[in-house]
Amino acid sequence: MTAIQGVEEEPTEPTDRPLATPYAILRDGFGDCAVLFNTDTSAVCPVSPTGAFIWRLMDGHRTMAQILDEVKGGFADVPDAAGEHVYDFVAVLERLGFVGYDAEPGPLDGSELRHSSSEPGESSTQTLQSIREQERDGREPSRPDGERIR
């Protein structure tokens, strides 16, 4: 796995279902690169066209194995080491707060999402559940500090 200094990484499993954080935006149009921007943490991460392709597949429904299969089917001359690179890429995005995991397939309710939160004392699961409750009630989604999300 790609190491991030000072962060201990859990291995990504073929059955994991990565889910892009709702706070992240992918912007294309920068030549051979796209940029991920986390509106909650202000983190920025440049990604290759392959990284952008993978990002768009992280919907919480596809497993890592399915994402890897789509990468192999979507590009010509995919190297044998592609699996390791895809897993490393997703693990790095998780550590940077761009990705969580849905433990069960099916409709996402936020209850199974896990990744670090930028709000002290509040988990990402709590934040996502709060946002979804606000949307169901017809309210403008906001963070616990009252700042609007959209």
4-33 pLDDT, tens digit each = 334 344 556 778 889 999 999 999 887 788
Q: Could you report the per-residue pLDDT of 52-75, keeping only the tens digit for each? A: 999 999 999 999 999 999 999 988
The predicted model gives 78-107 an average pLDDT of 82
Could you give phi then psi for residue 10, rounded to 5 degrees? -85, 140
Asked if the model's pLDDT at residue 113 lies above 80, the reply is: no
Asked whether the predicted pLDDT for residue 36 surpasses 80, the reply is yes
Overall domain count for the chain: 1
In a domain, 96, yes or no: yes
Closest CA to 127 of 144, 107, 149: 144
Range of the structural domain that residue 36 is part of:
17-105
Indicate the helix (H) or strand (E) that contains 41.
none
Residue 26 lies in a domain: yes
pTM: 0.61
Greatest mean pLDDT range, 8-12, 76-80, 112-116, 119-123: 76-80
What CATH number does the domain containing 91 carry?
3.90.930.60
Q: For residues 54 and 75, what is the distance between their CA atoms, to the nearest angstrom? A: 12
Q: How far apart are the first and last CA of the chain?
A: 34
Q: Is residue 132 part of a domain?
A: no
Give the per-residue pLDDT at 53.
Answer: 94
Indicate the Cα dihedral angle 46, 87, 59, 128, nearest 10°: -80
